[in-house]
Amino acid sequence: MQPSLTSPPKDDLKSLSDIKKLPGELRDLNLNIKNIAYLNRQAESESNARSYPRKMPFALAQAKGIYVKDVDGNVYYDCLSGAGAIALGHNHDVVQNAIRKQLDNNLPLLTLDITTPVKEQFVKDILSCFPAEFARNAKIQFCGPSGADAVEAAIKLVKIATGRRSMMAFHGGYHGMTNGALSMMGNLGSKSQIPGLMSEVQFLPFPYNYRCPMGRPEDKNGETSINYIENILQDDESGITKPAGIILEAIQGEGGKIPAPVAWLQKLRKITKEQGIPLIIDEVQTGLGRTGKMFAFEHAGIIPDVVVLSKAIGGSQPLAIVVYHKDLDKWTPGSHAGTFRGNQLAMATGSATINFIKDNNLLDHVTQMGKLFVENLKAIQIATNCIGDIRGTGLMLGVEIVNPFSGVLQSGNPERFEKLSRQIQKECFSRGLIIEIGGRQSSVLRFLAPLIITETQVNDICKIFKDAVQAAETEVLFKSISVN
């Protein structure tokens, strides 16, 4: 049964004894009784590594479109969308129909890397999404179902193809939680306790207009950053060996929704091509329409050597692939494998998602909804005090939260304010809106709405967000002023 999509979140009274059973970080949240029971059992049985339930303390019962309903009947707008994996929203008709067709016809569900008509169709469909110049020379490696596994495959691909051993990645980058992927992550929190990470990874400055890493706030195209990178790669006294590949996100996701300037990305492509260095674009979160293009690198009009894909390409089912220029295909049989690389259900739902995006001009819709989001967010920025920057493309947007009253500057702008960003997220959740946090010092509120979001839903979400920001400012920002 479809959940009631209009009922507001409840505000039931809770048993104090039940609330006291929760981990400390959840005790002050306004929870319903069934949610509490599920969370208690989850805390007893699952590892300490669980993360989302600590910020979104509920158990889900139903989901449809942009809405999810918890076990106590509360309905929420979902602007997390499975970290971007659920492109068409929950339980979209075309996805459900693809699953039913697969099951009703007794089609194989898992085939390792043995081909099938469903797989052949998916290959045709995914290649049709790329620029023709890339697609006509492309080969595909199906990987284990996570984006991290595809990143690992991409590392192996370029190392084998070039015979080189080092890699280059970027400050703020995120590529997954496996050993090689984690080694190329900018965030230190997840890697600082891990011994034996992949060696010889050189990190480079990623352009960040709001806080220029090179100390040049007037540099809006990342010229100082790209000049520095060019010098490293051309200088025979740089001390840095030529890498097997350079990996980056055209729009950093977990790093805070930071887009690379078009001119910067174009020059990076030019430099890497001249130097014979494979350019790997990680499109795990941006791929399949999230930015208003099928792939984020298309905004710069470049052709990469390798593209890493997961999340949305499986139509909400687990799937990950590496698509690369055929000249890099120096692998021998078994060079990369994985039991679940033959997930036929994901290929069927992936094809259904791709075709729906194309048939319904969803890329234009994403662009328009993204513009509407930004217009609303800029109005909220004016009406409040703590929004330092609004950035992103299409339906991949970030809002950086700052403390405008502390007098402390970071890279020329007010300091990041993690406590306030977390309070805003909490206030959003209590009002029926799910958003995630990311970026440096967890100061960026991230919007990843499904691509089918409507104008009315955008406006409703932004109204909730405005109320949440104002409530959080009263609770955190203005209290801190009065204390000081």
> What's the pLDDT score for residue 24?
45
Report the pLDDT averaged over residues 199-217.
93
* Structure tokens given for 74: 């509360």
Letter string b/e over residues 322-360, b meaning 16 or more CB atoms within 10 A of that residue's CB: bbbbeebeeeeeeebebebbbbbbbbbbbbbbbebbeee
**Amino acid letter for position 431:** R
Contact 68/2 with Cβ under 8 angstroms? Answer: no
Q: Which of 49-53, 143-147, 223-227, 471-475 has the lowest mean pLDDT?
A: 49-53
- Judge whether residue 13 has pLDDT over 60: no
Cα–Cα distance between 249 and 236 in angstroms, integer?
Answer: 27
CATH architecture type of domain 58-79+362-483:
Alpha-Beta Complex (3.90)
Cα–Cα distance between 212 and 414 in angstroms, integer?
Answer: 13
Letter string b/e over residues 279-295, b meaning 16 or more CB atoms within 10 A of that residue's CB: bbbbbbbbbbbbbbbbb
CA proximity to 50, closest of 25, 68, 71 = 25
Contact 28/422 with Cβ under 8 angstroms? Answer: no
SS3 17: helix
> What's the pLDDT score for residue 191?
86
Map out the domains of the chain as residue ranges. 58-79+362-483, 93-359
Report the pLDDT averaged over residues 175-192.
91
Contact 130/298 with Cβ under 8 angstroms? Answer: no
pLDDT digits (tens, 9 = 90+) for 26-85: 444 555 889 999 999 999 999 999 999 999 999 999 999 999 999 999 999 999 999 999
In the structure, what pLDDT confidence band is assigned to residue 11 with cuts at 50, 70 and 90? very low
Report the pLDDT averaged over residues 259-286.
97
> What's the pLDDT score for residue 316?
95
- Judge whether residue 16 has pLDDT over 80: no
Torsion (CA) 473, 477, 481, 484 in degrees, nearest 10:
150
Say if residue 216 is exposed, middle or buried (CB neighbours under 10 Å; 0-12, 13-18, 19+). Answer: middle
Bigger pLDDT: 205 or 22? Answer: 205
In the structure, what pLDDT confidence band is assigned to residue 480 with cuts at 50, 70 and 90? low
pLDDT digits (tens, 9 = 90+) for 158-179: 999 999 999 999 999 999 999 9
pTM above 0.85, yes or no: yes
In the structure, what pLDDT confidence band is assigned to residue 192 with cuts at 50, 70 and 90? confident
Residue 37: CA count within 13 A, CB half-sphere: 5
SS3 126: helix
pLDDT digits (tens, 9 = 90+) for 307-331: 999 999 999 999 999 999 999 999 9
- Judge whether residue 23 has pLDDT over 50: no
In the structure, what pLDDT confidence band is assigned to residue 481 with cuts at 50, 70 and 90? low
* Structure tokens given for 338: 């994985």
What strands, in cross-sheet order, belong to the sheet with 433-434?
60-64, 67-70, 75-78, 433-434
The CATH number corresponding to 93-359 among 3.30.310.50, 3.40.50.620, 3.90.79.10, 3.40.640.10 equals 3.40.640.10
